[in-house]
Structure 1
Amino acid sequence: MKKKIFTTALLSCCFVICMAVAFADLNGKWSGSINTPDGNAIDVAYNFKVDGEKLTGTAESQMGEVTIDNGKINGDNFSFSVNVSGTDYPHKGKAYADSCAMDIDFGGSSSHFVIKRAK
């Protein structure tokens, strides 16, 4: 009986550890390119900092660096906004092991893009 309980507990711990490894860690620098509604491509870099369910950090482009506002994480889904020249740009994304798929709202017109962990 004790052996069954020990085996079950051990397997449960292994499962939890494997699931934790499977979820991507957003901490760090990520980069990619956004295609804007007017057809221009903007190179971007995000430096994410995760604290529990809170996401902070910065976003960089040729227009400069801005802070990430209202950042939230729920599992592998996350959202935040950045304010560029007085305009908020909401972002929604899903984290994977080596990339993040994101959508940005350009005031009613959205763009889908992928960022990868910067080396």
Structure 2
Amino acid sequence: MKKMFFLSAMFICSIAVCLAATVSLNGSWYGTLKTDDGTEYPLQYNFKVDGDKLTGTAKGPHGDLPILDGKVNGNDFSFSVTLEKMYLEHSGKIYPDSISLNIEAGDNKAHTVLKRGDN
């Protein structure tokens, strides 16, 4: 009986720790994308998570662009954005203080880190 109680308590505690480790992606995130030629582009994303669905906007030079096909799986997420005629695929991982973000457009790939903020 004591062994079953102990195992149940351990299971419940491990679930609580896993849930506490999940960081919210909701809100505004900022960073800079640096190209090979040294050009820097400011980035701003506004995310909203509902279950495993990710929506929101990416701020571009022509205004806010909608996030398309957004998905969240634990601390991993993915979405796409269409900028003019360019399809940009994004995939990332959220950490307590930052987001690691990979961006692909055709054969071009870039990586950046975003920080939560109120810029």
Q: TM-score, normalised on structure 1? A: 0.89
Amino acid at match of 1:23: T
Secondary structure, in 3 states, of the residue corresponding to 1:71? strand
Rounded to whole Å, the distance in 2 between the matches of 1:106 and 1:35 is 15
1:78 match: secondary structure: strand
SS of equivalent to 1:97: coil
Alpha-carbon shift at residue 38 of structure 1 (Å): 4.3
Contact preservation (8 Å) 1:82, 1:90: yes
**1:58-92 Cα distance to aligned partner (Å, 9 max, x none):** 11134321110011112221111111113211111
- C-alpha contact (below 8 Å) 1:37/1:111 kept by paired residues: no
Contact 1:37–1:110, Cα closer than 8 Å, also in 2:
no
Query: For structure 2, which runs of at least 5 residues remain unmatched after alignment?
Result: none
Amino acid across the alignment from 1:83: T
Match of 2:12 in 1: 13
C-alpha distance in structure 1 between counterparts of 2:68 and 2:37, whole Å = 25
Q: Which residue of 2 aligns with 1:66?
A: 65
TM-score (norm 2): 0.89
Q: Which runs of 5+ in 1 are unaligned?
A: none
Residue of structure 2 in register with 1:82 after alignment? 81
Tell me the number of residue pairs that the alignment of Structure 1 and Structure 2 aligns: 118
Identity of aligned residues (%): 42
Residue 117 (1) aligns with residue 116 (2): yes
RMSD over aligned CA atoms reads 1.5
Shift of 1:103: 0.8
Poorly superposed stretches of 4+, deviation over 6 Å: none
Deviates more, 1:83-92 or 1:35-44: 35-44
Distance 2:6 2:15 in 1: 14
Contact 1:89 1:104 in 2 (8 A): yes
Query: For residue 88 of structure 1, what is the amino acid of its counterpart?
Result: Y
